[in-house]
Structure 1
Amino acid sequence: MLFNSGITDGLLPTNVFIRQSLNLNLFFLRIMKEHSFFLAAGFLSKDEALSQQAIHFMNSFNALLTEAVLLANGNVDSAVLCSGEVATNMTLRAEQKTQGLGGVPLDTSLTVQELRLLPAAENVNPAIEGNVQSLNERAIVLTRELVKFKTQVLDAMLSGRLFTFNFPLLIVHIRREALLFIEQLRLLQRRGSIDLTQEVICQKVFWDLQMAEHAQFIAHLLDPTEAALIDQANNFARLFFNLRAQTESGANPLGQLIGQEIAATSNLRNFKATAEELILANRIKSIIFPLLADHLLREANHFLRILDTSGRIFGLKNELSGQLKIRTPSLF
């Protein structure tokens, strides 16, 4: 999330630009890399060309993430490194097990580097500003290409020309995240100011939908015999759809909504963490890749950090309700 608290004269200071750019890239470049892997894993053997195209995207995002990790050491917010959105204490194990199951090499050494990253001091290194600008621009270009690929896959699925083991909604879901990444990078590249209240609302509405759909995916990827877990997942889906509807209605104070959201997301985050632990221990029957479980956990951790920061910013205000316009990411 973009909190432009250091803006003067309507421009984003170098220190803030570098921090927020690297915060964003550390999270989303890994997410895009893993989306590419999940796409590759879902194709049939006759669609080897599509699988190889997805693996090419995975490797390209891995290269950008490697660059981001090098730039981020000593230049990224400690809250991001502590949140579990860059890597969790299970990411390395999840990658190792998924690599064995899927047969596609994953760069586990990069995960080790991420876990060793040091946070920024009061100020970051201003000399890397140009490198960060370049990284942002190349991430935009590559993510646009991935959006096109996801769209082609979805169109082929919906027209009956392609079968994959990924749900059509999952393709819509991961394309939506790619569009958000592009939008946020473009905002940073412009260095302009933002409406903080509006940004919080937009992020909350966006991630409410993602959390609800995560719960739906979990429910549908569990073995039918895991009835209790399926019920829990479906309950989480209903909860987050309801939270999103409350936010869109603008009927309740933002501070109150954030408080409800933190509690709900914390519970979902704990559910995901427990599920991943059980998947890694072979104690849950499902068709969930261990890396997918970790991926979903990191997204919940990311949302929790956004909510925590939002709560601290808006906790001092009594009323922030009213008519709030919802922004959705544009394609380009």
Structure 2
Amino acid sequence: MCMSNLFVNRSLEEVQFWGRIMKEHALFLRLGFTVDQPKLIQEASHFHNLFESIEEKSVSFTDNADREHIVRLNMETYQATSHLWAFERKVLELILSCKIITNSYPLFVDHASREAAYFMNRIEQLNKGILEPLPDAVINENVFFLRIMSDHAKFISHLLDPSERNLITEAADLSYQLDQLLFQAVDLEAMRPASQTGRVLSRLIEESRLTVQSLYDFKRTIKEMVEECRLRSVIHPLLADHMLREAQRFLDLLDRFEASLTAGPKD
């Protein structure tokens, strides 16, 4: 694949995946606001509609699209995401300063804003033609995604009905395992460049994959139980699917890292 087509392909893939995530974050925020917060509800609805429009536009392009058209799509998406990030940080400040009461956890709002910041960085890298060195990418992506996955386990635990004792325990255990992996990845981050050997990175990838696969299986069970009305919880069906897709995203990324390390020189 030529460089131009590679840029188009990667851009569309990022915008379609993360743009949908941003759209759903706006929806979840809107659902969390109370009836006496019409302005916040209106703002969240605006972002939902904005990202829905971006999603529709992105699927109209093919991998053979003109590069400049995709650059413009990326910049439009970047601007929309930056405004959503600012809105999420504003909402977080309102919650933590007790200026509003909402049904969204502060950690969820922070979580959503971290994903928005990550998405903006990915768009910026694509438009500038920056490809992060593989050793840096392996550690950085693990630090980011392991924290996201641990958050998901915590959200599930706290959205389950207290009577779902076994599932709550399982979610808490997964959260603990993911936190331990996260702390390990942060340690490796501090040890760079000495920690950036093929063997160290391969072990990080393998350990992450084992635990994230367990989390994926757990999320899939939760999603199925929600859809079949077999679960006592306040988990929205779309949220269950949303979290499952992000786990699959991380697993796919780990597979790509492993393939790249295997193809590279041994050390």
- TM-score (ref. length: structure 1): 0.75
| Aligned equivalent of 1:130 | 68
| Aligned equivalent of 2:192 | none
Unaligned runs of 5+ in 1: 1-5, 7-11, 76-124, 321-332
- Distance in 2 (CA, whole Å) between partners of 1:66 and 1:156 is 32
8 Å Cα contact 1:71/1:128 also seen in 2? no
Q: Where does 1:52-67 land on structure 2 (aligned, <5 Å)?
A: 52-67=42-57
- Distance in 2 (CA, whole Å) between partners of 1:319 and 1:169 is 40
Write the letter of the residue equivalent to 1:292.
L
Matched residue SS, 2:155? helix
Q: 2:228 aligns with which of 281, 288, 294?
A: 281
Q: 2:15 aligns with which of 25, 36, 40?
A: 25
| Aligned equivalent of 2:251 | 304
Q: Where does 1:1-332 land on structure 2 (aligned, <5 Å)?
A: 13-72=3-62, 75=63, 125=64, 127-250=65-188, 253-316=200-263
Write the letter of the residue equivalent to 1:15.
N
* Alpha-carbon shift at residue 316 of structure 1 (Å): 5.0
- Distance in 2 (CA, whole Å) between partners of 1:319 and 1:171 is 42
Unaligned runs of 5+ in 2: 189-194
| Aligned equivalent of 1:111 | none
How many equivalent pairs are there?
A: 258
Structure 1 window deviating more from structure 2 (224-233 vs 190-199): it is 190-199
Report the CA distance shift for 1:23/1:43 in structure 2 as closer, same or farther (over 3 A): same
- Distance in 2 (CA, whole Å) between partners of 1:198 and 1:288 is 35
- Distance in 2 (CA, whole Å) between partners of 1:193 and 1:237 is 31
8 Å Cα contact 1:255/1:317 also seen in 2? no
Matched residue SS, 1:288? coil
Write the letter of the residue equivalent to 1:138.
E
Matched residue SS, 2:37? helix
8 Å Cα contact 1:255/1:319 also seen in 2? no
- Distance in 2 (CA, whole Å) between partners of 1:196 and 1:316 is 12
8 Å Cα contact 1:254/1:319 also seen in 2? no
Which string of whole-angstrom CA distances, capped at 9 and with x for unpartnered residues, describes residues 201-235 of structure 1?
Answer: 11111000000010000000000000000011001
8 Å Cα contact 1:258/1:311 also seen in 2? yes
- Distance in 2 (CA, whole Å) between partners of 1:25 and 1:34 is 14
- Distance in 2 (CA, whole Å) between partners of 1:297 and 1:263 is 16
Higher helix share goes to which structure?
2
- Distance in 2 (CA, whole Å) between partners of 1:318 and 1:263 is 24
Write the letter of the residue equivalent to 1:291.
L
- TM-score (ref. length: structure 2): 0.93
Identity %: 34
Which string of whole-angstrom CA distances, capped at 9 and with x for unpartnered residues, describes residues 136-188 of structure 1?
Answer: 00000000100111111111111111011000010110000000000010011
Write the letter of the residue equivalent to 1:64.
I
Matched residue SS, 2:238? helix
8 Å Cα contact 1:208/1:241 also seen in 2? yes
8 Å Cα contact 1:255/1:318 also seen in 2? no
Matched residue SS, 2:36? helix
* Alpha-carbon shift at residue 319 of structure 1 (Å): 6.5
Which string of whole-angstrom CA distances, capped at 9 and with x for unpartnered residues, describes residues 110-151 of structure 1?
Answer: xxxxxxxxxxxxxxx1x4212211110000000010011111
* Alpha-carbon shift at residue 240 of structure 1 (Å): 0.8
Which string of whole-angstrom CA distances, capped at 9 and with x for unpartnered residues, describes residues 87-106 of structure 1?
Answer: xxxxxxxxxxxxxxxxxxxx
Write the letter of the residue equivalent to 1:314.
L
Matched residue SS, 2:29? helix
